[in-house]
Structure 1
Amino acid sequence: MTSSPDEAALWWATAVSHIEPGSIELRDRPVQDLIGRASLVDVIWLMLRGTTPSPPESALLEAALVAGVDHGPQAPSIAAARMAATCGIGLNNAVATGVNMLGDAHGGAGQQCVEMLTDIRTLHTSGLGWDDAAHEVMAAWQSRSRYLPGFGHRFHPVDPRSGPLLGLVRQAVADGVVGGDFLDGALAVEEALRRRRAGARPVPMNIDGATAVIYAELGFAAPLARGLFVLSRSVGILAHAWEESGQGRRNKGPLPRNVLPARLPQPKDP
């Protein structure tokens, strides 16, 4: 059986881009019309959504992306990229090593939080108040896990990134840029946790929760919350891998060479 050029073209047909000799179009926009006119954030929106954002939407998305860029070498994705950079591989491989560490437990909380906030909003739309909707969805999530995605931080008593982001969302709601339902749902969860943990260490919203509010308010699907976080964090991963590659170390491991891991006691034969 033979195939025609038209069949091959249909096989790879896409609305994302169109390439011909002398022509490059991104979502039907000639690339030369975007260069120098559209920001990278605008193009991210265009490629994912097929439209261009308003300036306030673009600014809100950019704030979320900036906030998630880096969280230091103790983050597994960044530690892995730094170690990989000393193993004789290329910079792209080191970045890929770090990005591939971003899974459900490390890097997936934003997506999970969007899913949780969407459930709360759905219940609220059906007639429940924000507090009751939050309690119901929180109970369902905590029946599966002790963690609520987007709330609490193992390192920061109060995440320094969440306050500025939530302030921008509040302003966007006041300006009519976004609706505010996802913000209200997230604040209802935060308040429920505050009341539940009266006298104990608070569990405020963290970066994953704050960016989840932004991504949801801007209309991004939950899986794209993780994808956008990956784009953001890859900048920090690249910076760390590049720095490490210039320090001359070879085969960097998780511990300094003069520190040996403790020998674990061997199990006794029964």
Structure 2
Amino acid sequence: MSDVSDWWRTAIIDMEPGRIAFRGRPIEELIGTLTFPQMIWLMLRGDVPSDGQARLLEAALVAAVDHGPQAPSIAAARMAATCGVGLQSAMATGINMLGDVHGGAGEQAVALYQCVAARGDLDATLQDWRAEHGKYVPGFGHRFHKPTDPRAPRLMQLVREARDGGHCDGRFVEIAEGIEAALSRAAGKPIPMNIDGATAVIFAELGFDAPLARGIFVLSRSVGILAHAWEQTQQGGRNKGPTPPGYRWTYDSSGS
């Protein structure tokens, strides 16, 4: 009955016994033909990217896989792995740490770039953005990697190569570099683009909406979360907390 079959409506997958098709393409024609980045694009967008577009998306996926066991998502997954849960639960614990602060900067940077592109006035848009959201501008500066996040220059080089090859138009490269210059002038010191700003350029150049920038980042970081959760499983340990047991927290008798 149509009232049952129409309960879920999708253009992503069509399936019946012995047949599976994604976006109208039989799965057997995709297996061994499409790369994983191309498959991500197909699932999200409904078409297959050019080789240059796929390489650019793949570069963003590779760059964001991990940022070490002090990154909250990685730390949480490793701690969970010592608590007797399965690998998938450890991964879910880490993935659920990817929120607006830890994991959301790429989405926010895409939104900022798109605001600049729509308004056509970088300085005014940046001023209004900071007035609404605060001093921090997503995608620029890094508390650990100084003076430069080593991932960002390489990613921007690849975007420029893609632009020169006709795989994107490069307008978001100019916007991001304009923001970088404006922030540096205002601070009186370099405020370089970080990985979030650079991957945001890639997502914006490839035409992904801002929320998908975070979603794709989560796909990438899931690889690091998986690797660390598995490594911790192999290393063992029981109920590991955020610090060694010899260290204690600060008790504040004044309360909250």
Both proteins in one fold, TM over 0.5: yes
CA–CA separation in structure 2 for the residues paired with 1:52 and 1:8: 31
Percent of residue pairs identical: 56
CA–CA separation in structure 1 for the residues paired with 2:122 and 2:41: 30
Out of 170, 175, 184, which is 1:185 matched to?
175
- Cα displacement string for residues 70-111 of structure 1 (whole angstroms, at most 9, x for unaligned residues): 000110010001001111111011101111110100100000
Q: 1:115 Cα deviation (Å)?
A: 0.5
SS of match in other structure, 1:41: helix
Unaligned runs of 5+ in 1: 125-132
CA–CA separation in structure 2 for the residues paired with 1:245 and 1:140: 47
Q: 1:260 Cα deviation (Å)?
A: 1.8
Q: Which amino acid aligns with 1:146?
A: K
SS of match in other structure, 1:24: strand
SS of match in other structure, 1:11: coil
Determine if the alignment matches structure 1 residue 73 to structure 2 residue 63.
no
Q: Which amino acid aligns with 1:62?
A: E
Give the equivalent residue in structure 2 for 1:145. 134
Q: Which amino acid aligns with 2:170?
A: G
Determine if the alignment matches structure 1 residue 90 to structure 2 residue 79.
no
Q: 1:163 Cα deviation (Å)?
A: 0.2
Unaligned runs of 5+ in 2: none
Query: How many pairs are equivalent?
Result: 253
Larger mean Cα displacement after TM superposition, 230-239 or 134-143? 134-143
For residues 116-265 of structure 1, the aligned pairs below 5 Å read 116-124=112-120, 133-143=121-131, 144-157=133-146, 158-198=148-188, 200=189, 202-264=190-252
Determine if the alignment matches structure 1 residue 64 to structure 2 residue 60.
yes
Give the equivalent residue in structure 2 for 1:130. none
Give the equivalent residue in structure 2 for 1:267. 254
SS of match in other structure, 2:6: helix
SS of match in other structure, 2:20: strand
Q: Which amino acid aligns with 1:145?
A: G
CA–CA separation in structure 1 for the residues paired with 2:123 and 2:140: 14
CA–CA separation in structure 1 for the residues paired with 2:77 and 2:217: 16
CA–CA separation in structure 2 for the residues paired with 1:35 and 1:221: 27
For residues 15-94 of structure 1, the aligned pairs below 5 Å read 15-94=11-90
* TM-score of the pair, normalised by structure 2: 0.96
* TM-score of the pair, normalised by structure 1: 0.91
Give the alignment's Cα RMSD to 1 decimal: 1.1
CA–CA separation in structure 2 for the residues paired with 1:40 and 1:223: 20
SS of match in other structure, 2:235: coil
